Amino acid sequence: MGILGKAGIGVGIGAVAAAAAIGVVAPSTSRPAPPAGAASQAPAAQAPAAQAPAADIKLVSLVTDIKASDDPLTGDASLVVRNQTIDSRPPDVTYNLYTDSGEYYVTDTESALPAAIAGHDNLAEDVNAREVAAARYAATGDLGTARKQMVNATPNPFGLGLSPAEQKEAWEKAMAKDQHIFREKGITPPKQPTGKALRNLIDNHLWINSVDALARGAANPEIRAGVLNLLSTIPEVTVKDSTTGGRPTLTLTAGAALFGGSAEEVLTIDAKTGMPIRSEVGAPGRKPSSVTTFEVSRVTLADVEAGKS
């Protein structure tokens, strides 16, 4: 997926590199990467993140349905049971609790969550809060601004909103910071991309950060609506009707162009609620290297701590 490349292993797993499954180098300055050979010598013009493309009609329609729902929002946290299988390894099941106040607890069993909460084993980072905040804003705010907020939730070399000269400087600083990684791999640092290569690189960040936010607030309709609004603006994401377990679903495919041609991610969501159901990551046209399924529910933190979830 490129020298800086990285793909999310399913919704909310953007922090876990796909190196084990796909073979990726992820330096410290940024998570996703410019496609190999797609860079240009010329400095980038204004980065296109703030220019929201035409939105996908299926996702826009789903967002409208989510906003129109009059179901009351109960609880104060999302409980996401994640079952992930990488290649032929045994499944890895985790219980992930994301509170509306920003705390994050993860355990191997549901019965272990009360102790994690009582012990203040909060694993949340600042980036988590920024991703969720960007998703909330995207539910009703300007999508161009929301795109920039979501991309900037994690470190990147783009210099969004800066002048072309400042963007060039930001890119060069980022590449210099990871010079040791390039030397170890015997690779020349990629030059600043332009045009479609730049948009795909920015949209790579947008996809990964957005699906992270979707997991962290999966049971909150405002966050789901915001994430789907953002994903609807990525040209390399296709949306198709599907059926999963007898219920109508939508299949979102983040195309290989977002990952330098080496991988793609397929996300399946409920066609009525937008809840994440399944994620697959792998090389295009081949069996997925990683398959993750999700069970999402709205809970109350006090009940979980008391063992009542």
Q: Is residue 48 assigned to a domain?
A: yes
Domain that holds residue 127: 19-305
* 10 part of a folded domain: no
* pLDDT value at residue 292: 94
pLDDT of residue 45: 44
Tokens of 89: 């390894």
d(CA 244, CA 277) in angstroms, rounded, equals 9
The reported pLDDT for the residue numbered 52 is 66
Structure tokens belonging to residue 52: 């929201």
State the DSSP string of 190-249.
Answer: PPPP-HHHHHHHHHHHHHHHHHHHHHHTTT-HHHHHHHHHHHTT-TTEEEEEEEETTEEE
Give domain status of residue 84, yes or no: yes
Angstrom CA distances, 270 to 55, 109, 145, stand at 19, 25, 27
Q: What's the confidence (pLDDT) of residue 73?
A: 86
Residue 5 lies in a domain: no
Residues of the chain with pLDDT under 50: 1-46
Number of domains in the chain: 1
Q: Measured between alpha carbons, how far is 115 from 254 in angstroms, rounded to an integer?
A: 38
| 24, 283 Cβ separation under 8 angstroms | no
Q: Is residue 6 part of a domain?
A: no
pTM of the model as a whole: 0.83
- 175 found inside a domain: yes
Q: Please report the pLDDT score of residue 69 as a whole number.
A: 84
Sign of the torsion formed by the C-alpha atoms of 53, 58, 61 and 62: negative
**What is the pLDDT, as a whole number, of residue 51?**
60
162 occurs within a structural domain: yes
pLDDT tens-digit readout, 54-97: 778 999 999 999 999 877 889 999 999 999 999 989 999 999 99
Residue at 14 is within a domain = no
Backbone angles phi, psi at 181, to 5 degrees: -70, -45
pLDDT score at 48:
56
Tens of pLDDT, residues 222-231? 999 999 999 9
Which pLDDT belongs to residue 50?
A: 52
pLDDT at position 26 = 33
